[in-house]
Amino acid sequence: MNDRPSLQQVEEVRASAARELDAAPDIQSLDEWRIAYLGRGGRLTRILRELGGLPPDERRAVGSAANSAKSALEEDLEVRRRELHRAQASANLLAERIDVTLPGRPTPHGRLHPITETIREITEVFVSMGFGVEEGPEVELDRYNFDMLNIPKEHPARDMWDTLWIDHVDEDGSRPMLLRTHTSPMQARIMETTEPPVRVVVPGKAFRYEATDATHEWHFHQVEGLAVDEGITFSDLKGALFEFARRIFGEERRVRFRCDFFPFVEPGVDMAIDCFKCGGSGCRICGGAGWIEILGAGMVHPSVLEGVGYDSQKYTGFAFGMGVERICMLRRGIDDIRLFYSNDLRFLRQF
Ligand code: DAH
């Protein structure tokens, strides 16, 4: 290289600097490049430093070229630095990329327990007929479970239900409590706090002190029903329960009412449907009888109405109560009530 700075030299330095800058592989190498051209002993710096040895004319021309080369290179350096930065960033992104296309782990689908489902279907039928839905306490006072339902203490009718007594009495220390043996206590609770007309169904749990077998559980579900108003007759009971039977067990169902005894109704009945399996000729489901009993019902006893402060001369009503497990077992062909509560998913998944 010629020691005397010249325009040609500036041009050469500039061209080779641009080439090398283009070829710089990474940000670190930019430093070496800067030192080589623009550093204190860099090639362009040296030209600028040696301008003093030139005649004035040449000095002006070469100086101006060298200065603009300097700022051009500084600018090129910044451009290249940004370029390399971007390249580095996208290389990093690629390297750290997460594959989000992996298939997710399937979430198992839950479903309603067959008893919950049956309760909803039963209540829906009555709701469509204008009944409301209420729930009540599972731990009950014996007053509501028995006394208010026309079952006084020491009355033999109490033996109809094997009661689970609670080892606890309420605040005033005098009223024993129990796990309700049926949902009927809600009849008294509802009437006590509302004036007629009353139209309500009460789904809920009931409990009995009972050895379990294929048709008995110590806890189970019932749906209670109550309608009280002026002029309600046994025909209303029949109409409502007939409609219920057809909606749950099929349009072509027939129903049968026979006298039965429940202390809180008079007259009391049991309602049966003709067997939906054999149509009445007798089979395994109906035990050969052709009829299947599905609920107890009756006209609300005047003593029960009077007990909650209703005028039994003015108001009449009907009530009914059914076992949800039994209805579900009949519809689904399940032959052991204990299967509902054994937590066996193989059983529950079938429905
Ligand atoms: N509570 C009765 C039972 O558990 C069923 C029942 C019968 C309810 C007649 C009623 C009714 O409301 O009128 O055996």
Residue spans per domain, the chain: 7-96, 115-348
| Confidence check: pLDDT of 175 > 80 | no
Q: What is the mean pLDDT of the chain?
A: 92
**Is the CATH number 3.30.930.10 carried by domain 115-348?**
yes
Gap from CA of 233 to ligand 1 centroid (Å): 18
pLDDT of residue 170: 65
| Nearest atom, ligand 1, residue 206 CA | 4
3 state SS for the chain: CCCCCCHHHHHHHHHHHHHHHHHCCCHHHHHHHHHHHHCCCCHHHHHHHHHHHCCHHHHHHHHHHHHHHHHHHHHHHHHHHHHHHHHHHHHHHHHCCCCCCCCCCCCCCCCCCHHHHHHHHHHHHHHHCCCEECCCCCEEEHHHHCHHHCCCCCCHHHHHCCCEEEEEECCCCCCEEEECCCCCHHHHHHHHHCCCCEEEEEEEEEECCCCCECCECCEEEEEEEEEEEECCCHHHHHHHHHHHHHHHHCCCCCEEEEEECCCCEEEEEEEEEECCCCCCCCCCCCCCCCEEEEEEEEEECHHHHHHCCCCCCCEEEEEEEEEHHHHHHHHHCCCCHHHHHCCCHHHHCCC
Question: Ligand 1 pocket: which of 122, 149, 158, 182 to mutate (most atoms <8 Å of CB)?
Answer: 182
pLDDT in tens, 283-333: 888 889 999 999 999 999 999 999 999 999 999 999 999 999 999 999 998
Of all protein residues, whose CA lies closest to atom 3 belonging to ligand 1? 182
Q: Ligand 1, residues 184, 238, 271: which to mutate, most atoms within 8 A of Cβ?
A: 184
Position in ligand 1 atom list of the atom nearest CA 182: 4
- Nearest C-alpha to atom 8 of ligand 1 is from which residue? 321
75 pLDDT band, cuts 50/70/90, is very high
